[in-house]
């Protein structure tokens, strides 16, 4: 009895195919278990999921309104900051002028 290379190759391919088939069956079994768990979780939380999906449009609208309000506040703060800087510069100018007036009055009356 002789063993040919082609017969040996077919035997090895058959064994590999059987191993791959067993691995595929085990993977499909695990996938089936995972899908059944996901289905169970979705079934248990269906009411909560429905509540959340019903509130999503309102929440997104609120987020859009909040974003618009933040933009408005940012614009007001920018304007207020610019006004505060202008007022600070004006007050600083008035104080410098007042200091010069006091210096002049001091020099005139206390010589």
pTM: 0.47
> What band does 9 get if pLDDT is binned at 50, 70 and 90?
very high
Contact 57, 50 (CB under 8 A): no
Answer yes or no: is pLDDT of 4 > 70. yes
**Run of H or E including 43:** helix 5-44
pLDDT given at position 15: 97
d(CA 1, CA 11): 16
42: CB partners within 8 A, 6+ apart: 49
Average pLDDT, the chain: 91
pLDDT given at position 2: 80
pLDDT given at position 111: 66
> What band does 13 get if pLDDT is binned at 50, 70 and 90?
very high
pLDDT, mean of residues 72-93? 90
pLDDT tens-digit map of 35-55: 999 999 999 999 999 999 999
pLDDT given at position 28: 98
């Amino acid at each position: 009895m002789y063993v040919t290379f082609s017969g040996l190759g077919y035997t090895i391919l058959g064994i590999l195919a059987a191993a791959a088939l067993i691995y595929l069956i085990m993977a499909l079994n695990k996938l089936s278990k995972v899908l059944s768990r996901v289905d169970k979780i979705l079934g248990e939380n269906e009411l909560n999921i429905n509540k959340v999906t019903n509130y999503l449009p309102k929440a997104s609208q609120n987020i859009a309104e909040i974003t618009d309000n933040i933009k408005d506040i940012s614009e007001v703060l920018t304007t207020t900051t610019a006004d505060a800087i202008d007022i600070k510069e004006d007050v600083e100018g008035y104080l410098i002028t007042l200091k010069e007036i006091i210096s002049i009055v001091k020099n005139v009356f206390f010589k």
